[in-house]
Structure 1
Amino acid sequence: MHSLFSYLKTPPVNHPQFWIAVKATLLIIFILLGVYLHLPMVHLSTLAFGVVAAALADHPALYVHRAKAMLVMFGCFTLAAGSVTALYSYPWLFALGLFSSTFIFVMLAGLEVRFGPIAMSALILAIYTMLGYGQYTGQKWQQPLYLLVGALSYVLLSFIINALKPNQNLAQQSHTLFTLLAKYQSQKAQFFSKYHNDETLRRNLAGLTGEASSALAQMRSLLVIRQAQYPKANQNSDYLDLFFKAQLLIERIVSSHVNYAQLNQKLSDTVISQQLHFIMLGLAKRIAWQAKPRPIRDRLQHEIASLAQTLRGNYQLKRTLGEVDYNQLSFMLNNLSEMERLTREKTVFPSHDFKFEQLPVLNWANFWQQITQPTGLLFRHALRQALCMLTGFLIIMLIPGPIHGQNFWLLLTTLLVMKPNYAATKQRLVQRIVGTLIGIAIATGLLLLKLPLAMMIVAVALSCLLFFWYFSHRYALAVVMITIFVALALQLLGVKSEFTIVIRMIATLLGGLLVYIAIRFIWPDWLENHTQQRTNTLLTRLIDYQSLIFNHYQHHQADENEPYRLARFNLHVAEAEFVKHQQALFAEPSTRRRDVTLLYHLTGYIHSYIAHLSTLSLYRGRQLSPQASAIIIDIGQQLTASLNQLRAGEHSPEQLDETTLTPAITLKLRELMPNLHGEELLIAFQLQQLTSNLCQIQAQLAERQNPIPSQL
């Protein structure tokens, strides 16, 4: 029961979708209340459908070059609704128009971030036109007109709100980002709890890193969009500073200064583990507050200073831990202290005149090239979607009797479920079918109750609000709500929805079956075919970041310049994409996920490697002895060479140097250790851990390339 309530829990009100939900709901309430002014409900319901279509197209990029965006939106919406109205009575021309428009719109959605939501919403608007066409037989051109007016009302309201609160999306995204970073820090605190599994915890942290890095990438996209609106907007707000602070915090949060299992064992008879656990949880709270700073009333700074003082004066503890572990614990505490300072003070972005690259512009030559490339993934997805829509319409045509508007639920299911690959489609397919059937049952029950008009309006508005609010959080619940909305809105439109429940259920099931056949057998795009590319991309980003770190060690510098920031950012985004890829493989057929277990372990090893590399990055620019510097640079070159070898090769055992890499670096470190002290000891520990992780990564990649044959 607890898990059910947790699933039904609404997302936070500061989520970007909430404000889309509020705008659409208020506008729909305002429109439907027009019935008390004796306006025809059929027109008002059509306006409501137009509002929903425009809200589905809402995206931050819509507010860049607003006139151009509005022109594109209403061009697409007019083409979609107008072509359905013009060709509805000519089935074969309608089929041709449905196929070609679906193909073109899906191609546009995949090519241009600003036009993508508009293109998909135009297709949804076309199906809304099909669903309500029967109510406008006498004056059929009124329907596309009212749909466009409804969409225009939402766009104008959004433009007004955006002008009044231009940074709303950035504020919401920064809150999401720091909340995820706080979750990571809170999870990391579990290393100092009594009951945890190190390996499981590391993989959980890798997943959270992926989510946080995706949120960081989204915030960067919003900053780019904001800059495109107003070139100096980012310099006149604090969001660039927050973006920079988030990058600094990620590097410090991810860093791994100690061997947690070994340290916990040695600290078992002390209260230090509990103190560290408390401090890390306190930092998690601080991090969560960064997007909306508040007065600091905790004693975190005092707690860290007090623990540091205890460590300095506790010679018994130093003997118990040994010099290496004692130093590692001290430096970890220094890192926590620096994070406390970062969360207490305002962090200023290094370059006040910094500008991101410009938004990509739609290149019609590139668009044409994509259309004429049958082997491209986008082309295949668009053609698969168009074939599904065409086949769905032919099925509707084969049903005896006149075409019933509710049969077009089949096309709506097909359009909303189909994704570019099998894994994403399978997940969406189950949620769509179950959500639609539940939604139809609830909507039918409401209709059979013969609710008064005022309660019907409330039900329509509430279902709209919950649909957009849940849309990117709980898709199955969002489907339930949009199904209720469409059914009730169609009832207001004049369609006797309570008598079409069987039609909708059959149409939903047929649409789901059609999508499954298409994604399974028509040019299926299996994720395992992309594993090598994802791995190489991650290794490339890892090499770029690592090379800059050792370059800084070589030149005794610690610049937070743009190349370094970009390399760090790209690495975390690449890791996020790799984690998503590994998790999505679980949805593939069993014959298509032979790598899933290997990648599951590989994710943990790579995250551990990045954690130790991040720790190493924190000590760039330190004054080290010449002998230590030379050996550190030499080891760095060996590590980078091995990563290059992994990236360039097929990962066969002959190309790996696993047997010689560890002894070679161990020998170097053994030569170095007697002459080390302070930070140099910590750096040596990180190099040891990097070497160990690298060997684990090598072993996993070798096993993937040369799996052990099963025993018969």
Structure 2
Amino acid sequence: MVKEFIRLSSLYFRSSYFFRALKFTLAALFPLVTLGLLGYSEIGIPLAIGVFLNAPSDIPGSLKRKVYGILISSVLTMGVSFIVSLSNPHYWLLLAVISALTFSISLLAVYGFRGSLVAFSGLLAMILSLAHGVTSIPLWLHILLIGVGGLFYLSVSLLTHRIIPRKDEDQLLSDTLSLTGDYLEVRAKLLTETTKRDQLLRKLFTLQSDISEKHEVLRELLLTKAKRGKKSHSDEKHLLIFISMVDILELALANSLDYPKIDSLFKGHEKRLDAFKEVNLAFSSHLKKVAECMITKQGIPSKEPMIRALTTASKAIGDFVEQVGTPHAQEGGIILKNLYDYQTLQLQKIRTVRRALTNVRKESQLSIKSKHAHQFITDQDYGFNIILENLSYKSPIFKHALRLTTAIIIAYIFGTALGIKNTYWILLTLIVIMRPNYGLTKERSINRTIGTLIGAAIATLIILLTQNTIVYGVLAVLSLLVAFSLIQQNYRSAAAFITINIIFVYSLLTPNAFEIIQYRVLDTFLGAVLALIANYLFWPNWEVMNLDKILTKSIRANANYLFAIRHLYRTKETADVQYKVPRKEAFLSVSNLNAAYQRMSQDPKSKQKSSDLIYEIVALNNTILSTLASLGAFIQHHKTTEESVHFKKIVEHIGTTLENSAKEIDQIDIHPSNLPENIDTAKANLKSSYESLIKEREAELQRGQIALEEEMLNNLQEAHLIYNQLIWLKVLTEKLEVAAQKYRHRCAA
């Protein structure tokens, strides 16, 4: 227990989350404490406010975007603070200003996550200006000092980046390695835990979405440098680890199997599957340990457990064949051999990560060429036309801006009319909790309320035990530090520490601490309830309304991935951007679909229209992606025969079926000329090729040739995998088309 506590504490204090929180806390305290001791508190306070307002945009990403984000945030917070402060004495003018500012600032969320954080800074500045009383310095100086505080924080951020330039990269790589380990663990359980597969598949959807989010940030961080041709050895090392992690994810997806068929083939021989399950569990454990090593900088764990597990799996193939006997064991044996090959490749990728971490320089030769790097980066368009395109009721951000504006105005009128003390706390709760979709708003409302209650209870207990202001000051600083270090990992705990911080800050300023606790809890509860009501009643944005575009995008991305695999199979070229870019787009599109489905599942049951059908389409898209990854990974790492005309026809059939499925969801009528051709002959010929190899092998056995030559083994593996995966894809895409037709009819009803 003690050892585990020390391990977790070490990871926490070495994490970039704690480092970023420490940077923010020290940057805010420095002007406050230093100028306060010199007798210039009236200057130190707005400087600290400037730091507080402009820190949110300091998130992982390219340095250029980070600098622009903080600069734009500084200008925005200064302007908003000035306008609201001037309007404050005039109630009706203030209402109009709040409405206009809330709506216009909220629209900045169309520029992605960083844009939403800049918007949060602007809204936060507006609310703090409502609470801003008369000070001993002129308004213009107060506003100027807020801007200086923002620039001061930017300077601190740039300085720390220069001293420790790869802190965020290390953390992101570590988080991604850990999530990939979780993914492999779930994949392992899928192989044998037959009664839990639906639950495990849903967990995979979430994990794949989380991994893809990390991949996108890493692409921005790492490939921007590659794009500019400015790479140190450390940059190349990190890039190599990232590329290997993408390959590991592809191979993990490639391990997805036709589980009902597996259950049938290995009934009574589940022990042989356990050996392969243990390999994935060994890989998972190793990746999680490596993830910790990236943070703690300790030695890389031994690779021996992985090698032992893989050796046991290899032996399990022979045991299965010996126990079942030929020729009955042939199909099961080939499946196990393919699975073993994938896991062998997986071990190679993991060892590449290990070598990169131990600074083996020759590995850096595998990094992406700078001229191709831009093709892997998802660029965010920051043009004003994006705002104009979203000035539509169809835009979720537009509806969110309207909803938040309405909720803010209702809360302000309600609070001021009833004379609620610290009405701005209700408004603050609204901007923190409210999100464009109902499910996330509900989740944050619950976590915020529970966290506030926990924080209030802890603060009450401490106040009952001591009235020492030094203790209050120390706890206020420590709780602020902990709150900001946890805000991305555990929002409920962060809310508890934020409450503790606010209570102790007010306890230093006012003698009646219990009144502050009471109002804090009440205002948070009112804000959380209003946020939920607003999301449900005012221009609701149920996730099902936005699914059509996400569904069709994922289907078409899978189709593009299929044709990239076919190109690879036909040309026998080394996998390059023509293969890797469509693969990246397919992974990302399906992950976005998974995330959208998770959000939909958090909406009220009455608003989840056709949820069963949507889940079927989501599951089919994921299975299609896994099957494609299996084909792609095999073709990349095995010597294959020439493309046959039968292969070509079946691929074209699958591609047409995918496109027709997308058209059904888009409610586009399908012209008869676009219907897929009958491919029964091609299917029969492809099967015949596989069966002829089986007969050839059986003839070898009858002649007493027990040993399987490598060429025959490769041909058998290829014929088995190509035939089974293509036919499986055909079945899956035809099921998808039927589901898409049902979905279209339900939407039209």
Question: Bigger relative contact order, structure 1 or 2, given CA contacts below 8 A and separation 6+?
Answer: 1
* CA shift in 2, pair 1:119/1:208, >3 Å: closer
Q: For 2:485, give the aligned amino acid.
A: W
Q: Which residue does 2:409 correspond to in 1?
A: 390
Could you say which residue in structure 1 is the equivalent of 2:99? 99
Following TM superposition, by how much is the alpha carbon of 1:518 offset from its aligned partner in structure 2, in angstroms? 3.0
* Residue identity in the other structure for 2:300: R
Structure 2 residue ranges without an equivalent (≥5): 356-362, 694-715
Corresponding position: 1:343 with 2:382: no
Counterpart-to-counterpart distance in 1, 2:230 and 2:67: 20
Equivalent pair of 1:85/1:129 in contact (CA under 8 Å): yes
Q: From the superposition, tell whether residues 506 and 453 of structure 1 become closer, same or farther in structure 2 (CA, over 3 Å).
A: closer
Q: Which moved more, 1:151-160 or 1:109-118?
A: 109-118
* Displacement after TM superposition at 1:586 (Å): 2.2
Separation of aligned partners in 2, 1:371 and 1:352: 36
Partner letter of residue 162 of structure 1? H
Cα distance, 1:538 vs. partner? 0.8
In the alignment, is the contact (CA less than 8 A) between 1:43 and 1:493 conserved in 2?
A: no
Q: Check the 8 A contact 1:318/1:326 in 2, yes or no.
A: no
The more displaced of 515-524 and 576-585 is 515-524
1:21 equivalent in alignment to 2:2: no
CA contact (8 A) 2:61 2:217 kept: no
- 2:55–2:70 contact (8 Å) kept in structure 1: no
C-alpha contact 1:178 1:289 (8 A) present in aligned 2: no
Separation in 1, partners of 2:614, 2:325: 40
2:338 counterpart (304, 324, 331) = 331
Report 1:56-455 matches (<5 A).
56-61=56-61, 63-64=63-64, 68-111=68-111, 114-131=114-131, 133-134=132-133, 136=135, 144=143, 147-148=146-147, 150-193=149-192, 196-224=195-223, 232-233=230-231, 236-256=235-255, 258-260=257-259, 262-263=261-262, 266=266, 268-269=268-269, 271-288=271-288, 292=294, 294=300, 296-301=302-307, 303-305=309-311, 307-308=313-314, 311=317, 316-317=322-323, 319=325, 322-345=329-352, 346=355, 348-349=365-366, 351-353=368-370, 354-356=372-374, 360=380, 362-367=382-387, 369-370=388-389, 373=392, 375-400=394-419, 404=421, 406-447=422-463, 451-455=467-471
Deviation at residue 195 of structure 1 after TM alignment: 6.5
Residue 656 of structure 2 corresponds to: 641
Counterpart in the other structure of 2:594: 579
Q: Which moved more, 1:159-168 or 1:54-63?
A: 54-63
Contact 2:665 2:743 in 1 (8 A): no
- Contact conserved, 1:350 with 1:560, CA < 8 A, in 2? no
My pick for the range that moved more, 569-578 or 425-434, is 425-434
State how 1:481-520 maps to structure 2 within 5 Å.
Answer: 481-493=497-509, 497-520=513-536
CA, structure 1 residues 437+266, in 2 after alignment: closer, same or farther (shift >3 Å)? closer
CA distance in 1, matches of 2:93, 2:512: 29
Secondary structure of residue in 2 paired with 1:617: helix
Q: 1:338 to 1:418 in 2, by over 3 A?
A: same
Structure 2 distance, partners of 1:314, 1:200, is 29
**What is the CA–CA distance in structure 1 between the aligned matches of 2:398 and 2:239, rounded to whole Å?**
37
**1:164 alignment partner AA:** I
Please report how far the alpha carbon of residue 104 of structure 1 lies from its aligned counterpart in structure 2 after TM superposition.
2.3
Quote how far apart the aligned CAs of 1:98 are.
1.8
| Shift in alpha-carbon separation, 1:113–1:259, aligned structure 2, 3 A | closer
Listed as ranges, the gaps of 5+ residues in structure 1 are none
- Which residue of structure 1 aligns with residue 489 of structure 2? 473
Q: Distance in 2 between matches of 1:324 and 1:66?
A: 55
Which whole-Å CA distance do the structure 1 matches of 2:445 and 2:18 have between them? Answer: 24
Contact residue 15 and residue 176 of structure 1 kept, 8 A: no
Q: 1:263 to 1:397 in 2, by over 3 A?
A: closer
Secondary structure of the residue that 2:170 maps to in structure 1?
Answer: helix
Name the stretch that deviates more: 493-502 or 239-248: 493-502
1:464 partnered with 2:498: no
Task: Name 1:690's counterpart in structure 2.
Answer: 729
CA change 1:614–1:660 in 2 (3 A) is: same
Provide the C-alpha distance between the structure 2 equivalents of 1:495 and 1:370, rounded to a whole number of angstroms: 52
CA–CA separation in structure 2 for the residues paired with 1:606 and 1:69: 36
Mapped to 2, the partners of 1:46 and 1:495 lie a distance apart of 24
**Change in CA separation of 1:32 and 1:364 when aligned onto 2, cut-off 3 Å:** closer
**Is the deviation greater in 536-545 or in 647-656?**
647-656
Q: In the TM superposition, what whole-angstrom CA distance separates every residue of 1:185-244 from its partner, at most 9, and x where no partner exists?
A: 12222245466534443333333222222221222133355568x651478432222221
Shift of residue 152 of structure 1?
4.2
How many residue pairs get aligned? The number is 696
Task: Tell me the TM-score normalised to structure 1 length.
Answer: 0.86
Q: For the structure 1 residues 145 and 350, does the alpha-carbon distance in structure 2 shift closer, same or farther, using more than 3 Å as the test?
A: closer
* CA spacing shift, 1:394–1:209, aligned 2, 3 Å: same
8 Å CA contact retained: 1:85, 1:144: no
- Contact between 2:57 and 2:69, CA under 8 Å: does it hold in 1? no
Cα contact 1:301–1:337 (8 A) shared by 2: no
Partner of 2:700 in structure 1?
none
Q: Mapping of 1:616-627 within 5 angstroms?
A: 616-620=631-635
Q: CA deviation at 1:336?
A: 1.0
- Equivalent residue letter for 1:378: I
Identity among equivalent pairs (%)? 20
Change (3 A) 1:637 1:11: farther
Give how far 1:576 is off.
1.3
C-alpha RMSD of matched pairs (Å): 3.8
Describe the SS at the equivalent of 1:516: helix
Contact 1:624 1:680 in 2 (8 A): no
Deviation track 1:498-532 (CA, whole Å, cap 9, x = no partner) reads 32444444433443343334322332222111122
CA 66–471 in structure 1, closer or farther in 2 if over 3 Å, else same: closer
| TM-score for the superposition, normalised by structure 2 | 0.82
In the aligned structure 2, how far is the partner of 1:170 from the partner of 1:61?
A: 9
- 1: distance between equivalents of 2:381 and 2:274? 54
| Greater alpha carbon shift after TM alignment, 543-552 vs 694-703 | 694-703
Counterparts of 1:371 and 1:537 in 2: how far apart (Å)? 19
Pairwise CA distance, 1:370: 4.2
- 541, 547, 551: which one pairs with 2:557? 541
